[in-house]
Amino acid sequence: WEGHNGRPIRQRLLVVANRLPVSAVRRGEESWSLEISAGGLVSALLGVKEFEARWIGWAGVNVPDEAGQRALTKALAEKRCIPVFLDEEIVHQYYNGYCNNILWPLFHYLGLPQEDRLATTRSFQSQFAAYKKANQMFADVVNKHYEDGDVVWCHDYHLMFLPECLKNYNRKMKVGWFLHTPFPSSEIHRTLPSRSELLRAVLAADLVGFHTYDYARHFVSACTRILGFEGTPEGVEDQGRLTRVAAFPIGIDSDRFIRALETQDVQNNIKELQDRFAGRKVMLGVDRLDMIKGIPQKILAFEKFLEENQHWRDKVVLLQIAVPTRTDVPEYQKLTSQVHEIVGRINGRFGSLSAVPIHHLDRSLDFYALCALYAVTDVALVTSLRDGMNLVSYEFVACQESKKGVLILSEFAGAAQSLGAGAILVNPWNITEVAASIKQALNMSAEEREKRHLHNFTHVTTHTAQEWAETFVSELNDTVIEAQQRVRK
Ligand code: G6P
């Protein structure tokens, strides 16, 4: 994160994302503590070290007073972060509303919230207006800190208007936009009332990136079908102006995990966990508590496995870490109660006075505790109903050099395209299939585990976050140079 490492600084990079890598917690009128934020975007971007990077985003809190804003700006500056202050109403309409109640479920093929369809449709216009306003607020902060030659890298579905806002300020700004979620089929995207405006705003960027080729293809077809623009092998063209569109699969900073495993703290933690779960196989789920992660489906599949395999009942435990997220959005509140209800029922059904089959934690773990947990796991369960990439699967693989455990991975996660050959791929909606995969994973021979692990480990340690960022930024630089050459001709 420091961006230096004593090596020559290559380029100034302004990373713009809704959420900063640290979230602020107010401790006093002018005192703040900063905690690492959750999510794949943060986890990947923390691995991007070779740029002179500044991060612009929201610190996750409402700070109405100037003294508080000044103090927080100062505290964040030490982490090379620059805050965008959003008031409560904007957060409600833009973040909880348009981003997380409309775009997020739609991009993950979950449609609009079921019970709330009409209400959502009615509040759509005001939420969209707040979305545009918030994007303009981010653009204002970027513009204030921008220097000639900087690369501005905008991230995710929160900031689809940002490329257009930035180019309105300065046509010469090098602007890239990367989506961390899936981009859905054009048939889904075209149901959005603001479908055209969003696409046009993204196309103002010089380079548009996705995790997979499929998402890039969906985006190009949305532009051709909805806007009538031309799709070319390079991207999307309109009246001679090309926006380059391509796939840039993200990775993690695998060395950080591998190094952590060697520390005494993690080694002690590993020993403790091994003692605690001695005689039982450990299965692990680590997710934000989000509908897209398929947590209820995963737990129901585990229940089915216990039902069908009586002799495994006291020999296996499922540890599910569910990190609370977007807790003001009603759909997320409902999910929390639903998961608690299912876990309680299954533990009541299969537990004994001395042990329960599921340990469910509604909180995040610190980095070292998480590494230890990954290292002692026999089977990791990633059952996302849809997921842009899913870096938990990468983190698990990075920590498995000695154990060589099995990864059960949803075919609807972007990671299925990179780790598919090493993982057991499943359709998370089919709990019979997932239950059978759990059995297959627990019974897998050491040779097969080793072969599968090697495939995944090689991928995770070679396709890193750093490589991802370097490829994106160098492609962005090239794209801008090529565009300038085309204009000169
Ligand atoms: C996903 C999104 C990120 C987001 C993260 C956490 O990974 O792609 O943009 O930051 O979830 O969600 P939150 O709403 O807490 O920022």
Q: Is the CB of 68 under 6 A from ligand 1?
A: no
Q: Is the CB of 57 under 6 A from ligand 1?
A: no
Q: Specify the range with the lowest mean pLDDT, choosing from 143-157, 220-234, 475-489.
A: 475-489
Scanning the structure block, which residue is given the tokens 């409402």?
A: 62
pLDDT of residue 115: 59
pLDDT of residue 124: 86
CA distance 71 to 57: 16
Query: Can you read off the two tokens belonging to residue 154?
Result: 């905008």
How confident is the model over 404-411, as a mean pLDDT? 98
Closest ligand 1 atom to Cα of 388:
8
For residue 84, which of 16, 179, 177, 174 has the smallest C-alpha distance? Answer: 16
Q: What angle do CA 214, 220, 226 make, to 5 degrees?
A: 130
Pairing state of beta strands 151-155 and 52-58? unpaired
Cβ contacts of 487 within 8 Å, gap of 6 or more:
none
Q: Is the CB of 62 under 6 A from ligand 1?
A: no
Query: Whose CA is closest to atom 11 on ligand 1?
Result: 39
- CA 95 to ligand 1 center in whole angstroms: 11
Q: Is the CB of 180 under 6 A from ligand 1?
A: yes
How confident is the model over 354-368, as a mean pLDDT? 95
Q: Is the CB of 452 under 6 A from ligand 1?
A: no
Query: Whose CA is closest to atom 4 on ligand 1?
Result: 39
DSSP 33: E
- CA 39 to ligand 1 center in whole angstroms: 5
Pocket test for ligand 1, best of 15, 37, 61, 287 (most atoms within 8 A of CB): 37
For residue 134, which of 82, 85, 71 has the smallest C-alpha distance? Answer: 85
pLDDT at 301 over 80: yes
pLDDT at 116 over 90: no
DSSP result, 439-465:
HHHHT--HHHHHHHHHHHHHHHHHS-H
Residue pLDDT, tens place only, 181-221: 999 999 999 999 999 999 999 999 999 999 999 999 999 99
- CA 335 to ligand 1 center in whole angstroms: 17
- CA 479 to ligand 1 center in whole angstroms: 28
CA distance 143 to 84: 12
Q: Is the CB of 181 under 6 A from ligand 1?
A: yes
pLDDT at 38 over 90: no
Q: Which stretches of 351-430 are DSSP H helices?
A: 367-376, 392-398, 416-419
pLDDT of residue 3: 41
Query: What percentage of the chain's residues is helix, strand, coil (to nearest 5)?
Result: 50, 20, 30
pLDDT of residue 42: 83
pLDDT of residue 119: 67
**Number of helices and strands (H, E) in the chain?**
19, 17
Pairing state of beta strands 31-36 and 316-323? unpaired
CA distance 150 to 175: 9
- CA 400 to ligand 1 center in whole angstroms: 26
pLDDT at 6 over 50: no
CA distance 398 to 381: 15
How confident is the model over 410-423, as a mean pLDDT? 98
For residue 59, which of 47, 48, 73 has the smallest C-alpha distance? Answer: 73
Cβ atoms within 10 Å of 191's Cβ, excluding its own: 11
pLDDT of residue 245: 98
Query: Can you read off the two tokens belonging to residue 259?
Result: 């190094």
Q: Is the CB of 325 under 6 A from ligand 1?
A: yes
Q: Is the CB of 392 under 6 A from ligand 1?
A: no
For residue 166, which of 131, 133, 201 has the smallest C-alpha distance? Answer: 201
Pocket test for ligand 1, best of 15, 325, 394 (most atoms within 8 A of CB): 325
CA distance 423 to 165: 42
Query: Can you read off the two tokens belonging to residue 186?
Result: 């054009």
pLDDT of residue 488: 78
How confident is the model over 120-136, as a mean pLDDT? 90
Query: Can you read off the two tokens belonging to residue 241?
Result: 């102006």
User: What's this model's pTM, rounded to 2 decimal places?
Assistant: 0.95
Cβ contacts of 170 within 8 Å, gap of 6 or more:
143, 146
| pLDDT class of 118 with cuts at 50, 70, 90 | low
DSSP result, 38-91:
PSHHHHHHTT--SSEEEEEEE-SS---SHHHHHHHHHHHHTTTEEE----HHHI
AA letter at 396: F
AA letter at 152: V
8 Å CB contact between 258 and 367: no
- CA 156 to ligand 1 center in whole angstroms: 9
Question: Please, is 486 exposed, middle or buried when counting C-beta atoms within 10 Å of its C-beta (0-12, 13-18, 19+)?
Answer: exposed
Residues 427-460 as b or e (16 or more Cβ within 10 Å = b) = bbeebeebbbbbeebbebeeeebeebbebbbebb
For residue 355, which of 317, 307, 320 has the smallest C-alpha distance? Answer: 317
Question: What is the overall mean pLDDT for the chain?
Answer: 94
pLDDT of residue 1: 33
- CA 404 to ligand 1 center in whole angstroms: 29
| pLDDT class of 30 with cuts at 50, 70, 90 | confident
pLDDT of residue 187: 96
CA distance 403 to 376: 7
Query: Can you read off the two tokens belonging to residue 348?
Result: 């009541």
Q: Is the CB of 38 under 6 A from ligand 1?
A: yes
DSSP 99: I
175 strand-pairing partners: 152
pLDDT of residue 10: 67
Closest ligand 1 atom to Cα of 181:
8
8 Å CB contact between 116 and 94: no
Residue pLDDT, tens place only, 60-105: 999 999 999 999 999 999 999 999 999 999 999 999 999 999 999 9
- CA 288 to ligand 1 center in whole angstroms: 9
| ipTM given for this complex | 0.98
Query: Can you read off the two tokens belonging to residue 280?
Result: 């039982």
pLDDT of residue 117: 66
Pairing state of beta strands 424-426 and 406-410? parallel
